[in-house]
């Protein structure tokens, strides 16, 4: 068997050790005589699995006791609505910092639900290639919303905005546990699992208890399943949770702990990202270049273009750019480097180098890039 290096933005690669553990336990978990896939979520066999997953989240992220840890469904996109419906209930006003597609979609969802949205800062002027600096947020907002790491544009907050007493909400889907994070600076953190935690299917939500309203206090028409209290009062068991995904998530969390926790992940992720950015910034003939500004660069998602991406719109230039990009992706895949096609809003290529991506994988990518540049200069 020959495994590829998977640079997908999500679902992404998982630690090989975790995959082997899951494979070994596929037919029978422990001495239960059944797979976790077959277990009742109400069973005594499954109960310790979800409890351990929560305990590991609390341990690795230093989650205080006055925060609830929830495992919900619907992906990060469903949180766009849940945040608005649960928090936008006092003044009905919220501040959003627009740094790309996901923050923009979150703001649009809040508007759709009747929240008065203020875009207090945006990096749209440069195609979201940087994170705007917002030192202090004031006003009668119910909450302030940011997307901590932007998978498409490859940007990341290197600071946390000061929102005073206004709850700060952050989508950390693509950077959760890639670095230490002070949970106490946030009212709500949420993360779709399919990038750094597990297969697709579960969303981690960490919410401060005083921000969980009674269901009847949520915005009018909020469905039962979209009230945080529904899940908080039922230990994420109001309905059948994604049992197997939570089981894998628990194993990934133990893998993170064995590899130094959030601090260990940051050390590894910086080493990988520095290796790739250093090549992009210093490659011979400037055949490649990174699209994000220094000071806003993601450690997780690295978009890059070739010299044939000039911005020219004439037919010949567009055709050449497409030819080179398609050739890069095809030849990379043949070399065992898959899912490198860039998002249409940026173009070019994108390497997502989440926690489970090894330094060897990044080095293999750079070696391929050198060879490709030499053959296509």
Residues labelled catalytic:
102, 171, 195
245/235 Cα distance (integer angstroms):
16
93/91 Cα distance (integer angstroms):
5
Nearest to 131 by CA among 166, 96, 156, 103: 156
268/222 Cα distance (integer angstroms):
42
- Give the CA count within 13 Å in the CB-facing half-sphere of 262: 17
181/44 Cα distance (integer angstroms):
33
129/328 Cα distance (integer angstroms):
23
255/142 Cα distance (integer angstroms):
37
Q: How many Cβ atoms sit within 10 Å of the Cβ of residue 275? A: 15
Q: Quick check: 146 and 97 in contact, CB under 8 A?
A: yes
- Give the CA count within 13 Å in the CB-facing half-sphere of 254: 13
What residues are paired with 256 via a beta bridge? none
Nearest to 38 by CA among 243, 250, 247: 243
**Which H/E stretch holds residue 276?**
helix 261-282
């Amino acid at each position: 068997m020959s495994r590829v290096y998977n640079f997908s933005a999500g679902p992404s690669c998982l630690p090989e050790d975790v995959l082997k553990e899951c494979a070994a336990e596929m037919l029978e978990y422990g001495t239960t005589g059944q797979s976790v896939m077959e277990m009742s979520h109400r069973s005594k066999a499954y109960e310790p699995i979800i409890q351990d997953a929560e305990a590991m989240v609390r341990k690795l992220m230093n989650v205080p006791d006055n925060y609830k840890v929830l495992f919900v469904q619907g992906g990060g996109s469903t949180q766009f609505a849940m945040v608005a419906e649960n928090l936008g209930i006092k003044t009905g006003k919220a501040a959003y910092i627009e740094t790309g597609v996901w923050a923009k979609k979150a703001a649009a969802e809040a508007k759709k639900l009747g929240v008065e949205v203020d875009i207090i800062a945006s990096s749209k002027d440069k195609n979201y290639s940087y994170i705007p600096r917002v030192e202090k947020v004031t006003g009668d907002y119910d909450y302030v919303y940011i997307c901590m790491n932007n998978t498409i544009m490859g940007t990341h907050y290197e600071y946390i905005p000061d929102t005073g007493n206004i709850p700060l909400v952050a989508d950390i889907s693509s950077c959760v546990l890639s670095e230490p994070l002070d949970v106490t600076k946030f009212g709500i953190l949420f993360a779709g699992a399919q990038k750094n935690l597990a297969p697709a299917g579960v969303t981690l939500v960490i919410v401060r208890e005083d921000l969980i309203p009674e269901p009847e206090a949520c915005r009018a028409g909020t469905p039962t399943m979209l009230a945080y209290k529904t899940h908080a009062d039922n230990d994420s068991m109001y309905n059948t949770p994604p049992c197997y995904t939570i089981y894998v998530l628990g194993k990934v969390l133990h893998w993170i702990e064995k590899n130094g926790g959030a601090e260990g992940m940051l050390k590894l992720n910086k080493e990988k990202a520095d290796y790739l950015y250093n090549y992009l910034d210093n490659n011979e003939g400037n055949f490649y270049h990174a699209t994000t500004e220094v000071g806003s660069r993601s450690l997780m998602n690295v978009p890059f273009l070739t010299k044939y991406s000039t911005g020219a719109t004439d037919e010949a230039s567009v055709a050449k750019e497409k030819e080179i990009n398609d050739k890069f992706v095809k030849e990379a895949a043949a070399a065992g480097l898959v899912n490198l096609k860039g998002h249409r809003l940026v173009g070019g290529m994108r390497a997502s180098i989440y926690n489970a991506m090894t330094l060897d994988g990044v080095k293999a990518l750079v070696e391929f890039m050198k060879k490709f540049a030499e053959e296509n200069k």
